[in-house]
Amino acid sequence: MTRKSMEKVVFLDRDGVINRYPGDKLYVTSVKKFSFLPGAKSAIAKLSKNGFKIFIASNQAGVGRGIYAKRTLEAITRKMLLEVEEAGGKIDKVYYCIHRKDAGCSCRKPKPGLLKNAAKEFKFDITRSFFIGDTIRDVITANRAGCKSILVLSGKEKLANQKNWEVQPDFIFKNLKSAANFLMLNQGRFSTQSKSVPR
């Protein structure tokens, strides 16, 4: 697979972007508790059909903390992938960090390890990719990886906190559906300097 064929790449955080945010310091601990956000599956399907490669990059420290088992995380992932596929979309690979915060790993966001691993494995230019997340930690991760950041307001972060953010995202949208529409309409027509809030 050549770099040219992999230019359209989107990273997605999971909780608060694809599925409902479980709440601060809480985790999705079972398949039953995994619930897609409205429009998320169709947004992924549209991106897939428009030639975007899609990767999940998500911290799931609940495994490392013993709150839920790795096999439970795997079952949740299978459900997510199956329902996305049934909706006409495709997630090319899921990258999780299951380590505790104090583990000292290189993959726990805001470290860029998950994103860099994907770029190395699939051989694409990470600077031409986007990371859609629901936290400022995701924005910092994007910055450290060298890709463009999109913050969605469907999860943890709220626009009312903007004055306290450590960094500003390149773009801000209500949800994944709005962000996906923007990417499909404007691919290649903007720069990371925009720091804009599209309406």
Contact status, residue 131 vs residue 110, Cβ threshold 8 Å: no
Q: Is 136 a domain residue?
A: yes
| 123 assigned to some structural domain | yes
- The DSSP-derived string for 115-145 is HHHHHHHHT--GGG-EEEESSHHHHHHHHHH
At a CB cut-off of 8 Å and minimum separation 6, what does 106 contact?
113
Instruction: Check if the beta carbon of residue 148 is closer than 8 Å to that of residue 141.
Output: no
Catalytic, 15? Answer yes
The string of pLDDT tens digits covering residues 55-101 is 999 999 999 999 999 999 999 999 999 999 999 999 999 999 999 99
pLDDT at 191: 43
In a domain, 198, yes or no: no
Question: Measured between alpha carbons, how far is 50 from 189 in angstroms, rounded to an integer?
Answer: 16
Look up the domain containing 124 and give its range: 4-186
Helices within the chain (DSSP H only): 40-49, 61-64, 70-86, 113-122, 136-145, 176-186
Mean pLDDT score, 161-168: 96
What is the per-residue pLDDT for 103?
93
CATH number reported for the structural domain that contains residue 83 in this entry? 3.40.50.1000
- Residue 129: inside a domain: yes
Active site residue 138: no
- Do the domain assignments include residue 194? no
Q: Is residue 196 in a domain?
A: no
Which residue in the list 15, 134, 138, 170 is annotated as catalytic? 15
Q: In the chain, how many domains are there?
A: 1
Give residue-wise pLDDT tens across range 113-142. Answer: 999 999 999 999 999 999 999 999 999 999
Q: Which amino acid, 102? A: D
Predicted TM-score (pTM) of the model is 0.92
What confidence tier does 7 reach under pLDDT thresholds 50, 70, 90?
A: confident
Q: How far is CA 85 from the centre of its chain?
A: 17
Residue 178 lies in a domain: yes
